[in-house]
Amino acid sequence: MDRINIVILADETEYRVAVKNKIKDGSLAIVGYSDFDENSRLKIEGYFPDVVVCAVNSSTIDDQLFDFIKSLQFQSSGCAVVLMTDNVSVRLVNEAAKVGIRQVYSFDMDPEDFCKSIVEVNQLEQQLLGQLKIEKRVRSKVLGFYGVKGGAGTSSVATNVAVTLANKGKKVLLLDFNLQFGNDSYFLNMEPKDTIVELARDPEGISIEKVNTTAEMHSTGLTVLCAPKSPEFAEYVTPEHIQKIIENVRPYFEYILIDLGANFADQTLTAIENCDEIHLITNLDILCLRGTKCAMNVLDSLRVADKVQLVVNKLTASLLKVKDFENLIERHAYATITSDRRICTNALNSGLTFVTDQPRSAVAKDLVKYVDKIIEEKERV
Ligand SMILES: Nc1ncnc2c1ncn2[C@@H]1O[C@H](COP(=O)(O)OP(=O)(O)OP(=O)(O)O)[C@@H](O)[C@H]1O
Ligand SMILES: [Mg+2]
């Protein structure tokens, strides 16, 4: 079972300590503390808590405090709020319920009962979330895959990484932002009803709910927002749409993978600026060496060169070596993926990713090793 992350909201140290001393259960963890001030909401959101415990003296409980708790609106993001105080009355419990507080506890409550109750509160909150189809907020990583040359294997890599992460139980969103020639849906054998174009043109604007209804679900549980069905529709998607999509989905997926294609259109630049890491997909040939150099110049001028990771795809014996690319971008290759045209083509033609179709092949094993590294680095933070 996942740990239940708790934030304690209290302006007196003694109340923080009182709550802290009640948390004896290994499945509960205090991830942060906050005072009651203007910045509380942002501060607490940054901790991604499951439960916020407000610990206050009963003499300070008034409408203002309830208004403040109401304004936090954590319930809409999957977090339960509970109250702990020194004098619990029926009136207090009723008032608290009106602003969405799930439970009211007394400071002298038995620690074991308190922990049990927190576990139950969290369970109920998650059930409620499921019924309301609201996703829990999570700490996410946005990875962009950029091809230094068309055909380098960007979509193959992005889709195989996405499926591998989803198969490992991660909550993954794949955004196909190759607006003119995006074809991730082919790699995944999906026939999208709607695409990013319908999302961009929705008069109600972009929200997590809209993304969820526009995106398609792959058989692995992976969510995919597909590229326009035809290149002429690309112009409907502006850099502002790209920015809004990433902002809105960030709290709801652990991994947001973006197929950036192999161009530096304005929409791509906006996506790049919003990525935590940019994985440059390259091959060991002279065109890719040139493409890598050009891409690094652009990324340098955008001041995002430090977010770059080098991924050598279609690795094979060649005059050009991985070292040449490493020297060019002054960092070690993050991953190398062997070349196997037969396996990649057969998988594509059968509507399968190669990690699913041929999991024992060298190319699939390289891919899984690459994904394990991505997971390990994310979980280390
Ligand atoms: N590791 C690999 N070994 C052999 N062939 C591969 C490998 N990775 C991808 N390919 C093949 O290379 C071709 C191009 O792949 P893909 O469409 O993924 O490239 P891309 O960079 O996304 O292209 P585009 O610029 O058109 O978006 C496909 O036929 C694919 O099967
Ligand atoms: Mg592609």
- CATH number, domain at 58? 3.40.50.2300
171 and 125 together in one domain? no
Assess whether 318 and 370 both reside in one domain. Answer: yes
pLDDT of residue 176: 98
Domain identity same for 346 and 308? yes
Where the chain has pLDDT below 70, the residues are 1-2, 42, 46, 73-77, 132-138, 381
Enumerate residues 6+ apart whose C-beta is below 8 A from 217.
223, 224
- 53 vs 13, 23, 151, CA distance in Å? 14, 11, 52
Domain boundary among 106, 132, 158: 132
Is 203 in the same domain as 252?
A: yes
Domain boundary among 71, 97, 132: 132
Q: Do 71 and 120 sit in the same domain of this protein?
A: yes
Residues in the chain: 381
Most informative mutation of 148, 149, 155, 156 for ligand 1 (most atoms within 8 A of CB):
156
Q: 18 and 156 in one domain?
A: no
Q: What is the 352 CA–ligand 2 centroid distance (Å)?
A: 15
CATH of the domain at 365: 3.40.50.300
Do 14 and 50 share a domain, yes or no?
yes
Per-residue pLDDT at 240: 96
Looking at residue 9, its pLDDT comes to 93
- At residue 133, the pLDDT reads 62
pLDDT at position 73 is 67
Burial class of residue 331 in the structure, from the number of CB atoms within 10 Å of its CB (0-12 exposed, 13-18 middle, 19+ buried) = middle
> How open is the CA angle 204-205-208, to the nearest 5 degrees?
110
Q: Are both 119 and 147 inside the same structural domain?
A: no
Same domain, 87 and 185: no
If asked whether residues 180 and 81 sit together in one domain, one would say no
For ligand 2, a single-atom ion, the residues with CB < 5 A are: 154-155
Residue 344 and residue 156 in contact, taking contact as beta carbons nearer than 8 Å: yes
Q: Which residues line ligand 1 (CB under 6 A)?
A: 147, 150-156, 178, 181, 261-262, 313-314, 337, 339-341, 344-345, 348, 363
Query: At a CB cut-off of 8 Å and minimum separation 6, what does 282 contact?
Result: 148, 149, 152, 288, 289, 291, 292, 310, 311, 312, 313, 325
* Domain shared by 148 and 286, yes or no: yes
* Residue finishing a domain among 132, 150, 171: 132
- How far apart are the C-alpha atoms of 257 and 141, rounded to whole Å? 8
Confidence (pTM):
0.73
Q: Are residues 162 and 229 in the same domain?
A: yes
Q: Is 260 helix (H, G, I), strand (E, B) or coil?
A: strand
> Domain range spanning residue 107?
4-132
Domain count, the chain: 2
Contact 325, 310 (CB under 8 A): yes
